A and B are shown apart, each in its own frame.
Chain A
């Protein structure tokens, strides 16, 4: 038979004392501590990975709750290196006006019109995975599909189908901390008709974007799209954007600098002709106003007997 050595007996004794001590602290029954212990940390969907449904030029993974409508006015001035005669670009204006409707909490449809190339666009956006708090699912993923029609007057008449372009994109984002979020987005851009024989119809790109809050209501943002296969003949650069988000109640105001003029995917991802490092930079802003068309439902009634 093995002898229990005095050391381990002492340990057992200490454990016993500890257990007793534990019981007595439990008996003190601090009600609040008891409640806190009982409340399991819930794993809920993470909200506000980004302040807005747009980061700078491109979309974020965010979709608004069902019944919301967003009015979006996007505006880019001319290039700041265009000199005093063009008032550093402020004489020029490129604009996109858009309306987004949230049909469900996860599905948004949008339409828009851009002054650049007189383009109409429409998109569908569907959030199919959600990041959850407290060790739940690690990221949010949203699928995006858009179609655009370039309705410029051209010297030669083109069929409607030749004015069309399509974009398919998967947006994947994670909110790492209350202040910091990062997003990756593989994109495919298809153009039915390209400008020159050297241009490719299908462009593949990978975007990366992020935000860092600098106060409770403002954040710094960046966005970059790397093109894998676009032509290098005509001026063609990867889209870069740096910005600030400012939130004021029902509005989000985004101010930024970017080398892209267009405000739809097909334009800024595959057709950016400004060299950011050469000063081909546009000052721009997005003004987003959210309207709640349909309320989320009545608040619960008070309990009976009170």
Chain B
């Protein structure tokens, strides 16, 4: 009983680098923001994965847009982080090179939880894991209101890119 948790901890990886991007493709203008402040943990043995992304870490090209994103859309004072907690399955931990995997779990954005299935790819080598995924997020699913009278046109579905690099904990 004392050894069991030790084993699982030994297979636990923590992110050393991250890149989260969201991209909204709308007729008036494309909006892009990048965040390098996300953190994640991944257990290669069990497939358990979690990540946490500070909303204020998203960098926009236009500073006022960034302020509106935090103040009006994401309410980042109230909901400072977006999180995901789940399990990746369908991969072989002894295989080298990129291989597909599917994460099933709970996404929490803007204080709203939603069950999600995210397809991605992962690369497992000795002491190092990489994960990447591009998936759509429907803004309305997370009760993020897009005002009708707004001069930034935001797409109803935004594309989110997630890259994490992990090292053994």
Contacts and interface: CB of A to CB of B under 8 A. Distances in A.
A and B associate: yes
B142 interface: no
Contact of B64 (A36, A250, A300, A305): A250
A292 B64 CA distance: 8
Nearest to A178: B77
B34 to A, nearest CB: 4
Interface residues of B, number: 53
B50 A31 contact: yes
B59 A35 contact: no
B60 A296 contact: yes
Interface in B36-88: 36, 39-43, 48-52, 54, 56, 59-64, 67-68, 70-72, 75, 77-78, 80-81, 83, 85
A84 interface: no
B132 A306 contact: yes
B32 A299 contact: yes
Given A68-B64, A178-B78, A250-B64, A31 B49 contact: yes
Contacts of A35: 39-41, 50-52, 83
A299 B21 contact: yes
Interface stretch (A41-49, A71-79, A121-129, A257-265): A41-49
Contacts of A300: 19, 34, 36, 59
A235 B134 CA distance: 67
Contacts of B130: 305-306
B17 interface: yes
Contacts of A296: 59-63
A243 B71 CA distance: 20
B85 A31 contact: yes
B17 A303 contact: yes
Contact of B41 (A34, A41, A65): A34
A31 B85 CA distance: 8
Given A35-B51, A300-B59, A65 B64 contact: yes
Interface residues of A, number: 42
A305 B34 CA distance: 18
Nearest to B71: A48
A64 B67 CA distance: 10
A216 B80 CA distance: 16
B139 to A, nearest CB: 14
Given A35-B41, A250-B64, A296-B62, A303 B19 contact: yes
Contacts of A68: 63-64
A116 to B, nearest CB: 30
Contact of B83 (A32, A48, A292, A297): A32
A38 B161 CA distance: 24
Contacts of A250: 64, 151-152
Interface string A47-75: 11000000000000000110010000000
22 contacts: A27-B8, A27-B9, A31-B12, A31-B41, A34-B41, A35-B40, A35-B50, A35-B52, A36-B81, A39-B54, A42-B54, A42-B56, A47-B70, A47-B71, A292-B61, A292-B63, A296-B61, A296-B63, A297-B61, A299-B61, A302-B19, A306-B19
Given A64-B64, A306-B132, 12 more contacts: A27-B9, A32-B50, A35-B39, A35-B41, A39-B39, A39-B54, A217-B72, A248-B150, A248-B151, A290-B64, A296-B60, A303-B17
Interface of B: 4-5, 8-9, 12, 17, 19, 21, 32-34, 36, 39-43, 48-52, 54, 56, 59-64, 67-68, 70-72, 75, 77-78, 80-81, 83, 85, 130, 132, 145, 147, 149-152, 161, 163, 165
Interface of A: 24, 26-32, 34-36, 38-39, 41-42, 44, 47-48, 64-65, 68, 133, 178, 216-217, 247-251, 290, 292, 295-300, 302-303, 305-306
